[in-house]
Amino acid sequence: MNRDPAGRQSAADGSGPSEGRRLFADYEMHPAYYDEMFEATGVARVHCRELCGALDRMQPDEIAAMQALAERSFLHQGITFAVYGEEGAQERIIPIDFLPRLLDAADWEVVERGLRQRLKALNLFLADIYGPGRIFADRIVPIDLVRGCPQYRVEMRGLEVPHGVYVALCGTDIVRTHDGFVVLEDNLRVPSGVSYMLANRRALKTSLRNLFRRHHVRGIEHYGQLLRQTLAELAPPGVSDPCIVLLTPGVYNSAFYEHMFLAREMGVELVQGSDLLVHDGFVYMRTTTGLRRVDVIYRRVDDDFIDPLAFRADSQLGTPGLFYAYRLGNVTIANAPGTGVADDKSVYAYVPDMIRYYLGEEPVLANVETHLCREPEGLSFTLDNLANLVVKMVGESGGYGMLIGPHATPAERAAYAEQIRKDPANYISQPVLDLSVAPCLTADGAAPRHVDLRPFVLHGSETRLVPGAFCRVALVEGSLVVNSSQGGGGKDLWVLSS
Amino acid sequence: MLSRNAEGLYWIGRYLERARHGCRLLSDQLETMEDRPVEEIDQGWRRLYRAVHRTPLGGFLASGEEDEEFMLADAYTMADDLTFEPDNPDSIRNCLAAARENARQVRNILGVRMWSCLNLAYLDVRDVGIETIWNDQPDAFYLRTEDAIRTFTGIAVSSMYRDDGWHFLWLGWFVERTQLLAGLVDAHIAQYPIAAPHNEADWRALLRICEAHVAYRHLHSHGHRPGRMVDFLVADPLLAHSVRHALGRVTEALDAVSSGRSLAVEAGRRAGRMAAAIDHDWPNRDPDDDDATRAALQGVRDSCLLLHEDIAATYFHYEISDAP
């Protein structure tokens, strides 16, 4: 019998009726994009051959059923994500695509080296702009761009941070084009997604056990311990066994599952602003046996909301006096307040220059060519070429407020151009990238979909990262937007050990 | 333990016990509808509503309306009100939603199995309505929901680390049980006075709701005597669903978490006084004086409210000045 609940045509290619259709039988490579699995139609890349052969021998239904089971278990375990502004969608899972994406050791080496380099430079940049400002004096980065950025925190000027580490964790979005890996953006404030990376890995490891074992995939499960170690290293001087907490905005935050998950992985308390209080310059949490001193706060709350006395006064999520305790050096906040200035979409354009300036090296990972509308040439170029560009608002993330020129109607473009003219400094534009594609399971068998990857880098007294990433995939055919908040899905990324 | 986590576990206990109690009340009431006259069924609803301190949205049957169809329509509305009504904070669905919301807050200290069990119980109740369960087998729905809650407690017993979290879960659970049992027995006596001629079925039902019928039969082979049953449900320390037993568990939990704090003494002392009142004052009241019996039960309910305030002020919401 042919198991084919989706009503797909099968056995038309001459395979026996008991076999059904092969997964990659009708896979059509997209002529314009780099394909992560195939180098030519029907020819898998060397490191993908074994996987490709094994998957091809499985029934698409079988994989779809495993996928559905995994997604149901995500829902039951509450591995969910909330999309703001969507009625009734308070808790949604991030759909998982069960066809793993493979990265060979050489590719990963480039990514890893590039990320280490980038994070090192970004930390030096932050120390510089909140300190001596050499990079302004040397006219590498314009001072007004940085000081005028809404994420710049004047309160951080001249403040010593432990070990000079501003960014203890980041999640960098990387895509592959025909020219190699390109950094799309650095998320230096409160990057999320690491829990989905781990959940996807667990789901695939359980369901495709034999395949997984045969591939010698490098492990990522120790991420929680590395994170804890990193945070412990950043404790205020003289604290040997620091009390670490994870500060969450609460259950209504879109990434609450992740906060909960990481607190459990690290074995630390998950606190909300109201659980903490500041007394005599120290931070304490309220426990059933009294107040307990807190030394390191891994905060998943935006700068604006961490302390109503220092930042936004109407914040209900923060703890009054927290920034005061931080200034005194009695508590570490990771990431430090004010790191957002370095992942601003305009400042992003200068990261390659920062790497050359601080490290005297050429960037390992390229940037996307970026036009700043704050500059007259950038503005006119953007307005003249709107139909071929992606335009983003500098302060927005998560794929909100952006225009994809080629996909927009003339009316949409005209309206957007009007917005840009009103406030040019708020916009940047980039060419539409030829993001690579990877095969994904669809109702009609495997088909190419755009993918990116977000590895997570930790920086304490040394830089650490697990060989893996949250690989996001645009599940809608032709879509270039992989953001989870815009309906993207996830894939497991297998970094091969040799 | 973080105060907010302790509070979350405490409320999980309270809400789940409230939902479980609601299931018992309703499955019992629906069972009576199978073979009892309309008038008695109506009395059953009155007792039930009194026990949960609520008035039905459309009122009770007026006299003269004792007709089968009215009764059925009424039962449908009232069961809906107590099970699914969004505006009824104590409806079974709302209790499960609240328990789950608290569980979401403390998920990092709740095992995956405990969370999944509670989450599934909630999803099951979220996705049905009165019309579905009414057309199916309503009592099966209540049994299933109750079983899910019992499974949760089973997982807790077999897997939870015995730290403060464990004690706060049961503290909430048994404060709630004390309060609900006192309210139920009080409502029962108000509806069916002890000295008045009685229908044995009404009293058997009370025992069944409290899962006390088998134990009672073993101990009292000479039949159903309302006064004795009330004593059993209030003062027997060995009966899982007696006021005295629940208070014993409250005292145990408070002893375990107090760790010598001065304010904590207040909550422990209050619970101790409540238990002592049942051990010493309860037997000395006139068992035929329903007013005295009901006053004692209302005393228990009132003390539960104060006890809750003591617990919250000592462990959950204390000020810096009161911190140990």
Q: Report angle CA A169, A172, A175 to the nearest 5 degrees.
A: 165
- Could you say which of A78, A275, A290 has the minimum Cβ distance to residue B119? A78
Q: Which residues contact A81 (CB under 8 A, 6 or more apart)?
A: A91, A92, A93, A94, A196, A254, A255, A257, A484, A485
Chain B residues within 8 A of A260 when measuring between CB atoms: 107-108
Among B256, B303, B253, CA closest to B278: B303
- Could you say which of A78, A251, A290 has the minimum Cβ distance to residue B323? A290
What are the tens digits of pLDDT across the range A13-46? 333 333 567 889 889 998 899 999 999 998 999 9
- Position A6 scores a pLDDT of 37
- Does A481 have pLDDT greater than 80? no
What are the tens digits of pLDDT across the range B75-131? 899 999 999 999 999 999 999 999 999 998 898 888 889 999 999 999 999 989 999
- Position A73 scores a pLDDT of 83
Torsion over CA: A395, A397, A403, A405 (sign):
positive
Chain B residues within 8 A of A317 when measuring between CB atoms: none
- Position A17 scores a pLDDT of 38
Q: Give the C-alpha separation, A463 to A445, whole Å.
A: 41
Residues in chain B: 324
User: Is the CB of residue B231 less than 8 Å away from at least one CB of chain A?
Assistant: no
- Does B322 have pLDDT greater than 90? no
- Does A485 have pLDDT greater than 70? no
Strand partners, A72: none
DSSP assignment of A64-83 equals HHHHHHHHHHHHHHT-EE--
Q: Which of A206, A289, A317 to mutate to test the interface with B (most CBs of B within 10 A)?
A: A289
- Position A11 scores a pLDDT of 36
- Does A4 have pLDDT greater than 60? no
pLDDT band, residue B196 (cuts 50/70/90): confident
Q: How far is B142 from chain A (nearest CA, A)?
A: 21
What are the tens digits of pLDDT across the range A382-395? 999 999 999 998 87
Q: Token pair 């199995």 is at which residue?
A: B113
Q: Which residue of B has its CA nearest to A264?
A: B108
Say what percent of chain B tops pLDDT 70.
Answer: 96
A435-450 average pLDDT score: 91
Q: Which domains does chain A have, with CATH numbers?
A: 107-359 (3.40.50.11290), 369-431 (3.30.1490.270)
Question: Does A279 sit within 8 Å of B1, measured CB to CB?
Answer: no
Question: Does B3 sit within 8 Å of A275, measured CB to CB?
Answer: yes
Among A183, A30, A33, CA closest to A118: A183
Chain A residues within 8 A of B123 when measuring between CB atoms: 76
- Position A358 scores a pLDDT of 98
Q: How far is B255 from chain A (nearest CA, A)?
A: 13
Q: Which residue of B has its CA nearest to A267?
A: B108
What are the tens digits of pLDDT across the range A405-422? 888 999 999 999 999 999
Chain A residues within 8 A of B324 when measuring between CB atoms: 289-290
Q: How far is B124 from chain A (nearest CA, A)?
A: 11
- Position A397 scores a pLDDT of 65
Torsion over CA: A201, A202, A207, A209 (sign):
positive
Strand partners, A93: A80
- Does A224 have pLDDT greater than 50? yes
3-state secondary structure of A448: strand
Chain B residues within 8 A of A270 when measuring between CB atoms: 108
Chain B residues within 8 A of A77 when measuring between CB atoms: 112, 115-116, 119
Q: How far is B173 from chain A (nearest CA, A)?
A: 18
- Position A3 scores a pLDDT of 38
| Burial of B319 per CB tally in 10 Å (0-12, 13-18, 19+) | exposed
User: Is the CB of residue B305 less than 8 Å away from at least one CB of chain A?
Assistant: no
Lowest model confidence (mean pLDDT) among A174-178, A247-251, B279-283, B316-320: B316-320
Question: Does A77 sit within 8 Å of B2, measured CB to CB?
Answer: no
Q: Give the C-alpha separation, A438 to A448, whole Å.
A: 5
Chain B residues within 8 A of A274 when measuring between CB atoms: 4
ipTM value for the complex: 0.83
B53-68 average pLDDT score: 75
Q: How far is A274 from chain B (nearest CA, A)?
A: 9
Q: How far is A312 from chain B (nearest CA, A)?
A: 24
- Does A86 have pLDDT greater than 60? no
Q: How far is A301 from chain B (nearest CA, A)?
A: 16
Residues in chain A: 498
Q: How far is A269 from chain B (nearest CA, A)?
A: 7
Q: Which residue of B has its CA nearest to A268?
A: B108
- Does A279 have pLDDT greater than 60? yes
Q: Give the C-alpha separation, B64 to B61, whole Å.
A: 8
Summary mean pLDDT of chain A: 89
Q: How far is CA A356 from CA A359, A371, B212, in A?
A: 6, 20, 80
pLDDT band, residue A225 (cuts 50/70/90): very high
Residues of A with CB under 8 A from a CB of B: 76-78, 250-251, 256, 260-261, 263-264, 269-272, 274-275, 277, 279, 285-291
A290-317 average pLDDT score: 91
CB A398 within 8 A of CB A153: no
- Count interface pairs A-B at CB distance under 8 A: 63
B245-274 average pLDDT score: 86
Q: Which residues contact A109 (CB under 8 A, 6 or more apart)?
A: none
pLDDT band, residue B319 (cuts 50/70/90): confident
What are the tens digits of pLDDT across the range B222-243? 777 899 999 999 999 999 999 9
Among A285, A343, A364, A368, CA closest to A319: A285
